[in-house]
A = this chain, B = another copy of it.
Amino acid sequence: MSRNLFEDLAQQTAGELGAIRAAGSRAGAGAVEPTDVVASILLGFVSEPGDGVLGRLVGSLGVRSVATGLLSGWPAREFADRTADASGRSDPPSTRELAAGIARWRPRLDRDAFVRSIAQAARVRARLLLPGDADWPGGVDDLGVHAPLALWVRGRSSALAETPSMALVGARAASGYGEHVAVEASAGLVDRGFAIVSGGAYGIDGTAHRSALAANGTTIAFLAGGVDRFYPAGHEALLGRIATTGAVVSELACGAAPTRWRFLQRNRLIAAAAAATVVLEAGVRSGSLNTAGHAAALGRPLGAVPGPVTSPSSAGCHRLLREFDAVCVTDAAQMAELVAFGAEEDGDDDARSRPGAATRTLEVLTPEEHRVLDVLGIRRARTVRELVPATGMTAGDVLGALGALDATGLAARSGDGWVRRRPE
């Protein structure tokens, strides 16, 4: 596609874009050019969430130039030359990083799929939020080069701008105790004026959302796939209810399915969008610990609710208290205090505000390892040759990731290929 094709794309989707960028975003002098809107959507469409190379490239050249270059088939060298010209921007990606990025992004430049995705967004009445919009959740900008370029919203996008907000997360496999804690915490925080942010999952997340709705509060669910398809399927009705008064949000375009990587990146949005994060109940392998790691890495206040030491369902919370300096919170009042607490500590160099300190250990896999793990099957072995297009990674990077996954017991050789192994 050439530059003309890109403008064609903007024209072709103009009708849908009008609906998608409706009232609630910006008007008049602050309005975003339609080509910039299309560019933002397109870059999100071709990349995986949290792609730091793309974030740095956009930081140097802006969304329109990057989308134009990608559509025009610029080689890595041309991107590199242009970032060198764009003086004043720091840390542009290297030619090698750009080449790897282009190898990931270009195979996804599917014009028809893109047009279908936008049409689908319009059909489900999704709205597009862009950085700088009145309803844009400013907290996600703290993700820097890993921040989303756009967010898709179903429901009331202004819910995202409500403050204060609290992320309440926890395990899918919740106990009766955990559900009791989630009901009380969520309702109590709503009573204190908080919007409740969570991941829409079974167990603790769903209970937190439901309790917020029951208390007539605002609640926001971040999804790991497109907002056109509510996931998990069993929460379709719940997510529909959330969208009637609050918002269901994703950085992934309509049509995108959730993957392991996307769940982990969705967690970073939950942590970044909320003023503080509380893990209500979590076993040691709960994905909510990943959200907690993101919150800690971002310097957001992090709370954990203790439980019986005899309950494996609370072991992850106890680990957060013990090893990650989470604050012990036992009721909504103490959770609400976290926000003030975090503000007071601003600039303090304690573990809570030391970016990266906590995630380094909680997040044992690299992005590459996660991507390979996403496409490995448990039964059918896949060869490296198959894994390269499936992951959008080079053969060398796939092999490196497989070696690390093998060492940690998450993947194993099987015949000519590789299979995933369940962690014990």
Contacts and interface: CB of A to CB of B under 8 A. Distances in A.
B330 A315 contact: yes
Interface residues of A, number: 20
Contacts of A177: 308, 310
B309 A331 contact: yes
Nearest to A327: B322
Contacts of A71: none
Contacts of A307: 306-309
B322 A329 contact: yes
Q: Which of A177, A314, A330 has the most CB of B within 10 A?
A: A330
Contacts of A308: 177, 306-308
Nearest to A303: B322
A180 interface: yes
**Interface SS, A side:** mixed
A333 B259 CA distance: 37
Contacts of A322: 327-330, 334
A181 B328 contact: no
Contact of A328 (B310, B318, B329): B318
Contacts of A329: 322
A249 interface: no
Contact of A306 (B180, B328, B334): B328
Contact of A180 (B310, B318, B327): B310
A394 to B, nearest CB: 43
Contacts of A151: none
B330 A328 contact: no
A197 interface: no
B309 A321 contact: no
A321 B325 CA distance: 10
A334 B319 CA distance: 11
B331 A306 contact: no
A305 interface: yes
Nearest to A350: B350
A322 B333 CA distance: 13
A309 B307 CA distance: 6
Contacts of A327: 322
A281 B310 CA distance: 13
Interface string A380-419: 0000000000000000000000000000000000000000
A288 to B, nearest CB: 17
A402 B310 CA distance: 45
Contacts of A334: 322
Nearest to A180: B310
Nearest to A305: B309
A309 B306 contact: yes
A43 to B, nearest CB: 43
Contacts of A180: 310
A322 B310 CA distance: 20
Nearest to A181: B309
A286 to B, nearest CB: 16
A85 to B, nearest CB: 49
A318 B328 CA distance: 7
A328 B177 CA distance: 19
Interface string A82-123: 000000000000000000000000000000000000000000
Contacts of A314: 306
A331 B314 CA distance: 13
26 contacts: A177-B310, A180-B310, A181-B309, A181-B310, A306-B306, A306-B307, A306-B308, A306-B309, A306-B314, A306-B321, A306-B328, A307-B307, A307-B308, A307-B309, A308-B308, A309-B330, A309-B331, A318-B328, A318-B330, A321-B321, A322-B327, A322-B328, A322-B329, A322-B330, A322-B334, A328-B328
List of 4 A-B pairs having minimum Cβ-Cβ separation, nearest first:
A306-B306, A321-B328, A309-B330, A322-B328
